[in-house]
Amino acid sequence: MSLLEARGLTRHFGGLRAVDGVDFDLAAGEIHALIGPNGAGKTTFVSLLSGRVPVQAGSIRLVGEDITRLPAHARVRKGIAYTFQITSVFPGLSVFDNVALAVQGGRGSARDLRGAVAAALSRVGLEAMASDIAGTLSYGHQRLLELAMGLALQPRVLILDEPTQGLAAGEIGNFKDLVRSLVPEVAVLLIEHNMEVVMDLAHRITVLNFGQVLARGTPAEVRASPAVQEAYLGA
């Protein structure tokens, strides 16, 4: 049984078929990349999985439970965390308080707050910045803070939307090491334009184009696909 399973997911906006009958499976302990050209439907698809956009047709199951109609906050408590393409930290609060808010909204909200925050910050290397104001951090550190907030939710599934956008080359290397350290405890769904990151991290890749699945498979299989080369990667 898949950890996260989608069947026939559909979302149209007027005449635009943003997501058009997509099937998808995420296995426990897997890093699964979702790629495709701009406008392929990637962000809409993960918004359907996380509950930020309602499904028009199809179904979503998490560990066998139908969550298709659950609102986003209920899916967070079930174990789906979503970090955004643009940083969504609270700039006026401390690093500690940002993560504390996430702890209180997650699956383990009744556990020791201070210990949970410290564990999440330590995981991403920000423990020394706990008292800093989030808005004063560098962009790279804000992305790490957002990741700490996601981990503080104790997710089964962590969705990362363009996490390396704006990061320096050295920061990308550290990010890849961090993502690898999350599995098998957490399954990661990675939406990413940086193909070097995708090919290096992903166990499997799903390619979307015009709201439909163009290809899926291992990095080697996707790289070798003529259809993917024509639509996205280039020959």
Reply yes or no on whether the pLDDT at 128 is more than 50. yes
Alpha helices in the chain (DSSP H): 42-50, 72-78, 95-105, 113-124, 139-152, 169-182, 195-201, 219-224, 226-228
CB atoms within 10 A of CB 136: 11
Average model confidence (pLDDT) for the chain?
89
CB atoms within 10 A of CB 106: 22
Name the pLDDT band for 193 (thresholds 50, 70, 90): confident
Cα→Cα distances 93→103, 196, 213, Å: 15, 34, 41
Strands 31-35 and 187-191: parallel
Domain ranges of the chain: 1-70+157-164+187-235
Residue-wise pLDDT for 56-106, tens only, equals 999 999 999 999 999 998 999 899 998 864 557 889 999 999 999 888 876
- In the three-class reduction of DSSP (H, G, I as helix; E, B as strand; rest coil), residue 106 is classed as coil
Q: What is the pLDDT of residue 211?
A: 92
Look at the domain 1-70+157-164+187-235 and name its fold: Rossmann fold (3.40.50)
CB atoms within 10 A of CB 234: 7
Distance CA 205, CA 40 (A): 15
Mean pLDDT calculated for residue range 160-170: 85
pTM score of the predicted model: 0.89
Contacts of 183 (CB under 8 A, 6+ apart): 29, 30, 31
